[in-house]
Amino acid sequence: MKEKVILAYSGGLDTTAIIPWLKENFGYEVICCCIDCGQGEELDGLEERAKLSGAAKLYIEDIVDEFAEEYIMPCVQAGAVYEHKYLLGTSMARPVIAKRLVEIARKEGATAICHGATGKGNDQIRFELGIKALAPDLKIIAPWRMTDVWTMQSREDEIAYCKAHGIDLPFDHSHSYSRDRNLWHISHEGLELEDPSAEPNYEHMLVLGVTPEKAPEEGEYITMTFEKGIPTSINGEAMKVADIIRKLNILGGKHGIGIVDIVENRVVGMKSRGVYETPGGTILMEAHDQLEELVLDRATMEVKKDMANKLAQIVYEGKWFTPLREAVQAFVESTQEYVTGEVKFKLYKGNIIKAGTTSPYSLYSESLASFTTGDLYDHHDASGFITLFGLPLKVRAMKMAEAKKNA
């Protein structure tokens, strides 16, 4: 009886070529598994393509709600952003994909999992750390790192290989951006982006929206509600998290929100340039921040910023299934107990402009913040506070002056 391998299958040229390659070089029965994280029309025609390529079976697993609620939202609540700009769209999706691949492997009695990530990128790390954490006994096959067996080096090579194995599929030799899409974002790499001095060709590139220059001349007001850090409605309409992100993607794309051009530091040590479209995610993160600044105290905000950076690094490096991620997330969740309220903002030509925030747990006191003297604040108290708060600075200045005098 043939051993089974679970192939993380996208239906693209790489994973299509991998199917006959696995059968020819290892004699595996290939079970394709396409994980639906919100790729949309990219899933059309996959079943026929997989079977034509020689797969024994195809799973199409819809994990959009799990992705939104258990992976995206912890990062939103934390405010996790990698290197100030990247909202972790691909990074957040890889652990949930790895988890489902392992579940299918167990169901099918497979002995191995295969992925099509390259040997230069982050995804190989994210997939494999997830698999190792959840199923250390399973073998991992990474064709692009097996250069003694995987001899294809270009799209032309892969197309020729497929045709030689009787697979005539609608792939051509044209080159386009390397893209990754899910509910949260779409990334673009390659072509002119490989030259950091070149301006992105947004006319050719953008999928989810338009540039700010092409956005409407009129702004649009949006109202959102949150309960314990989780979004619950847009403009009075209650929705589940995944539908809120879908709606915000449409609104944000329309108004040129969330287009980021970044040169980031990959885990493997090199810099890479990409353009990310995250219209809905950018709005959601900003709306959540807008509410938090009204509710969280200064000391908690200060530590939470550190935890946000730590979680961004953890997720970017593929270390989702670790005690550290669980501990950081537990801290973040404890800060969300009172992040409940309503935020209003205006979308206008790439900008998210505040238009008011309310919460039953607001720590803002108008009587304290105003210039009039309230019952809780006596201006004279500031003198003693400043004396003590500035004492180290004063003592140091006195000692330095004394040292110079005696020198």
Cα radius of gyration rounded to whole Å, the chain: 26
* DSSP code of residue 177: -
Give the separation between CA 135 and CA 147, rounded to whole angstroms: 25
Q: Which residues are catalytic?
A: 14, 94, 123, 178
Structural tokens at position 21 = 């390659």
Residue 231's beta-bridge partner residues?
A: 226
Neighbour tally for 144: CB within 10 Å: 18
C-alpha 374, offset from chain centre: 45
The two beta strands, 4-8 and 29-36, are: parallel
Give the separation between CA 109 and CA 125, rounded to whole angstroms: 24
Residue 260 and residue 313 in contact, taking contact as beta carbons nearer than 8 Å? no
Q: CB under 8 Å to 149, separation ≥6 — which residues? A: 25, 143
Residue 221's beta-bridge partner residues?
A: 346
Helices 123-134 and 89-108: angle between axes, nearest 10 degrees: 40
Residue 171 and residue 177 in contact, taking contact as beta carbons nearer than 8 Å? no
Query: Collapsing DSSP states into helix, strand and coil, what is residue 262?
Result: strand
164: left (phi over 0), alpha (psi -120 to 50) or beta: alpha
Give the count of alpha carbons within 13 A of 246, CB side only: 11
Residue 15 and residue 49 in contact, taking contact as beta carbons nearer than 8 Å? no
Query: Collapsing DSSP states into helix, strand and coil, what is residue 58?
Result: strand
State the amino acid at position 392 in one-letter form. Answer: P
| Closest residue by Cα to residue 155 from 163, 147, 165 | 163
Kind and range of the H or E run holding 367: helix 366-369
**Any idea of the CA torsion for 46, 48, 50, 54, to the nearest 10 degrees?**
180
Helices 13-26 and 155-164: angle between axes, nearest 10 degrees: 50
